[in-house]
Structure 1
Amino acid sequence: MNPSFKEAATLCKTIMRNGYDAYVVNARLQDKAHGQGSVEIDICTDMSLPDLQKIFPTVEATETDTAFAVFRPESGIIFFYPADTEDGSHPEDCVAMVTPRLLKKLQDTGEIPLHLACPYLPRPKELHDGFADLESGEIRLVGIPDQTLRQNYLRAVRALRFSANYNLPIEHNTWMAILRAARRVLDYASTNDIIDEWRKVEAENMAAFVRLLYESMILHGLIPELAAMARIRQQKNETEEETVFDHTLDVMAHYPQELPYDWYGALACLFHDVGKLHTAEFFDGRWTFYQHHRVGAKVTRKILSRLHFPPEEVDLVCFLVRHHMRFHFMLTDRGIRRFKALDEYPRLIEMVRADIKARGGSYKEFNHNMKMLDRSDTPEDMLEPLLNGGRIMQLTGLKPGPAVGLLRDALLKAQISGDVTSVDEAVAFVARHSAADSL
């Protein structure tokens, strides 16, 4: 074996003993390419330049042919290139077969094998690695899109994120490459990496991102429960129907209008109707989804746990899904006070507001509850009963004393709980309790 290759192999072993990866790039081709004179060897490693210099002090920085470091032992010259560290790359494309320096050498000698027509070339990572300049006005993968995706299938999700956040279309050939690779995205890109990309989507762009996930078929494999909602229809209003999936995206789009930047609130909107898949029932000419909020919270917990969300985030989103129907109904005094006792009630209010906007529905119940919410700020001991002490004595024949005060307090509690809502009901309440006390 050539002394330079022995030296390179020794370097690789030393790097690996320090907890990093390293390998000689295609030793067979390099042996053909070095020719006469000083031998040059290419090594790929995930070790950084500062760490290399701690072990090999004579290693120098270089930008030659995208190599980031060079080492000059007596036997020749060794170049260091960045290794592929992307978990989402295709197995056949994650090991470098050729470097720019080696490619030029092979061109000079005329020995370029056909299988190296589109080799993996190790290059330093950039912010938009694999993507053309966004100033072009579209999201486009550089080179041959299918081949660029093979180097890292996470780029498919990243392209959808760029499109949603920057409001830019995806170039046609790039879109077709993503569509063809949808299954491989889930095969090779880890769930954690996909969710990390998702977390970088702004709340106001979440609906656009989820729609792209659906249209690219990635959502079907990632969260099939959500994709299935596109096949469930419901009544939008008295004259129109819509799919549950379209309604969900509309709610997600409206939610950030009142609570911008609330990523978890937008995520809860995504899952708020997922229970309809399990509760749908067609009866008397229309679809019903009774208790979908309760079932949806359980389904959401299963999904988010599968996607490796932290427990505290799972609890938050499931709580919002579980209670998102509370503010839809016209609440009594007691109901509004119980609602306001919920920790996340402002988010729940905005989920209902977004739902009404998405349907073009009536604000009758919503406005009533908002007024009741203002009333709930008044302490219970400051509220007045519908009947004062004098009226109570007139109706019951009681004399001034503790009995009148006890009856007045009981009436006030009945009002707060919603059991008494009018003067007539208050008169009947006092009459009943007065009769019961006299027995």
Structure 2
Amino acid sequence: MSDPYKEAVSICKTIMRNGYDAYVVNARMQHLVMEGGDVELDIATDLDFKGLDKLFPAIEHSKEHLAIGKFVEDGVLFRFYPTDIEDGSHPEECVARITPRLMRKLESTGEIPANLACPYIPESEDRYKGFEDLEGGEVKFKGIPDDTLRRDYLRGIRAMRFAANFGLPIEPNTWTAIVRGSKRMLDYIAVSDIMDEWRKVEAENMADFVQLLFDSMVLHGLIPEVAALSRIKQMKNEDEGTEEETVFEHMLNVMRFYPEHLPYDWIGTLSCMFHDVGKLYTAEFFDDRWTFYQHHRVGAKITRKIMNRLRFDPNDTDLICHLVRHHKRFGFMLTDKGIRRFKALDEYPRLIELERAGVKARGGNYTEFNHNTKMLERADIPEDMLEPLLNGNEIMDFAGLNPGPAVGIIRDALLQAQIAGEVGTVPDAVEFCIRYKEREGLS
């Protein structure tokens, strides 16, 4: 090893002993372009200029494109470039093999290796780096899409987020690169990073984002339990015709309708994605129809497993599992006791909107929903106020009435008086009925 390279290695070791990474960029190529010229060496490191200045006081800023700094020692010019720090990049992209200086040297010889035709020097990136301007009306990677994606596979998830949030199409070549790279996205991107991007998707746009995850095959690897719902069929509306739909299609429609009444509810919208996941495990075809008995209970258990795998906060996990577990409660015509039990549940307004979105997604009728909505008002009335102190027969006996409309009128008036606190005992109720009959002239 020649003295310049020994010195370069010594510099790298100094940086590494201080807790940072450093290496000589493509030593073999630098040796080739060094012959017959000035002795210059390029070093890549994740240490910034301020840190380098503490270790090498002779360093100064460099005008070279992308270079952090430079200094001369024993006649050798050392330049420093930023190394790759993206966790989501392809392993081969972690090592810089070309710098602008080396590229110029190669161009001067007229021989540029094919794999270096589009050189890349790792550097800190902003969220829009690697993308063409979105004002162009589409989401598009810069340069060669596959290469741009390889440098940071998180860009694939980000591209789908941009498309969903801004309502933009993804450019065909960019989309093809995403589909081709879907497996590697899951290989090289941490689940926490994927969910960090997902949390930036607006609730109103989440259905579109999930559809893109499904179409790109990312969802199949990330949440296979949800992707598999595309292979489970159900009757769209059992009251009308025999139209079938997949559970996945129904789930997406519920996700679209839910934010109409609870906008910006990200957790509630996400729970819509899991509300029918239990149908994958409870589906049974019998007597020419599909059944999914207890899918809400099973779904809550499956959802908890998925939430843990996606590294969700325990409180969010508990909330989403709660919504999945009880999402059917408002779907049946409830009695007085049933509506009281329902209203005692945590987050019952979200459960109401889950059912509303479900009815709309199925194109069903709102008979049960409207009944339960009206019953909610009764749930605020104490149970002992739901029935009058005297029944119809007793009102006829005490007031001296024959069967007829007058009995019902007095009964309703008595109940209102009880609710208002004007009547509290049976004797008071008897007196009220007699006086009311005389005052209104009923017979």
Q: Which residue of 2 aligns with 1:65?
A: 65
Q: Give the equivalent residue in structure 2 for 1:176.
A: 176
Does structure 1 residue 264 correspond to structure 2 residue 267? yes
Shift of 1:379: 3.7
Q: CA RMSD in A?
A: 2.3
Cα pair distance change 1:115/1:323, threshold 3 Å: same
2:369 maps to 1:366: yes
Secondary structure in structure 2 of the residue aligned to 1:50? helix
Q: 1:37 to 1:292 in 2, by over 3 A?
A: same
Tell me what 2:277 maps to.
274
Aligned partner letter, 1:11: I
Distance 1:357 1:58, change over 3 A: farther
Q: Distance in 2 between matches of 1:130 and 1:338?
A: 53
Aligned with 1:319: secondary structure? helix
**Residue identity matched to 1:388:** L
Q: 1:391 to 1:271 in 2, by over 3 A?
A: same
Amino acid at match of 2:180: R
Aligned counterpart, 2:388: 386
How far residue 242 of structure 1 moved from its aligned partner, in angstroms, is: 1.0
Aligned positions of 1:227-306 closer than 5 A: 227-237=227-237, 238-239=240-241, 240-306=243-309
| Identity in percent | 63
**Aligned amino acid, residue 207 of structure 2:** A
The one-letter amino acid of 1:338's match is R
SS for the counterpart of 1:19 is coil
Q: In the superposition, relative to structure 1, how do residues 171 and 393 fare at CA in structure 2: closer, same or farther (>3 Å)?
A: closer
Is this contact kept in 1: 2:138–2:169, CA < 8 A? yes
CA 374–56 in structure 1, closer or farther in 2 if over 3 Å, else same: farther
Higher mean displacement: 92-101 or 294-303:
92-101
Distance 1:86 1:307 in 2: 20
Q: 1:181-220 alignment to 2 at 5 Å? A: 181-220=181-220
One-letter amino acid of the counterpart of residue 225, structure 1 = E
TM-score normalised over the length of structure 1: 0.84
TM-score, normalised with respect to structure 2: 0.83
Tell me, yes or no, if the aligned pair for 2:82 and 2:121 is still in contact at 8 Å. no
Aligned residues: 396
Report what 2:75 is aligned to: 75
Q: 2:120 is paired with a residue of what secondary structure?
A: coil
Q: In structure 2, what is the equivalent of residue 409 of structure 1?
A: none
Higher mean Cα deviation, 199-208 or 146-155?
146-155
- The residue type equivalent to 1:245 in the other structure is F
Equivalent position of 2:18 in the other structure: 18
C-alpha distance in structure 2 between counterparts of 1:136 and 1:356, whole Å? 39
1:281-311 deviations in Å (ceiling 9; x for gaps): 1122211111110000011111111222222
Give the secondary structure class of the aligned counterpart of 1:242: strand
- Are 2:85 and 2:124, in contact at CA under 8 Å, matched by a contact in 1? no
**Residues 365-401 of structure 1: per-residue CA shift (max 9 Å, x gap):** 11111112122223445x1523439966999xxxxxx
Q: State the AA in 1 paired with 2:122.
A: P
Amino acid at match of 2:170: I
Q: Secondary structure at the match of 2:73?
A: coil
In the alignment, is the contact (CA less than 8 A) between 1:94 and 1:120 conserved in 2? no
Q: CA deviation at 1:5?
A: 2.9
Amino acid aligned to 1:90:
H
1:339 to 330, 337, 342: 342
- Residues 62 and 203 of structure 1, relative CA distance in 2, 3 Å threshold: farther
The aligned amino acid for 1:104 is R
- One-letter identity of the residue aligned with 1:286: R
In the alignment, the residues of structure 2 paired with residue 207 and residue 116 of structure 1 have an alpha-carbon distance, to the nearest angstrom, of 40
Aligned to 1:40: 40
Give, in angstroms, the shift of residue 158 of structure 1. 1.3
2:117 is matched with which residue? Answer: 117
Q: Are the counterparts in 1 of residues 83 and 121 from structure 2 also a CA contact under 8 Å?
A: no
Other structure's SS at 1:78 match: strand
User: Greater shift after overlay, 330-339 or 49-58?
Assistant: 49-58
Residue deviations 1:161-193, cap 9 Å, x none?
111111110111111111111222222222222
* 1:295–1:31 CA distance, 2 compared to 1 (3 A): same
Distance 1:124 1:74, change over 3 A: farther
User: 2:263 is matched by which residue type in structure 1?
Assistant: P
Amino acid at match of 2:166: Y
Q: Which moved more, 1:129-138 or 1:78-87?
A: 78-87
Give the superposition deviation at 1:112. Answer: 2.9
Native 8 Å contact 1:96 1:122 kept in 2: yes
Secondary structure of 1:65's match? coil
Residue in 2 that maps onto 1:86: 86
Tell me which amino acid in the other structure corresponds to 2:79.
F
CA 1:204–1:389 in structure 2 vs 1: closer, same or farther (change >3 Å)? Answer: closer
Task: Check the 8 A contact 1:66/1:124 in 2, yes or no.
Answer: no
Q: Which moved more, 1:280-289 or 1:184-193?
A: 184-193
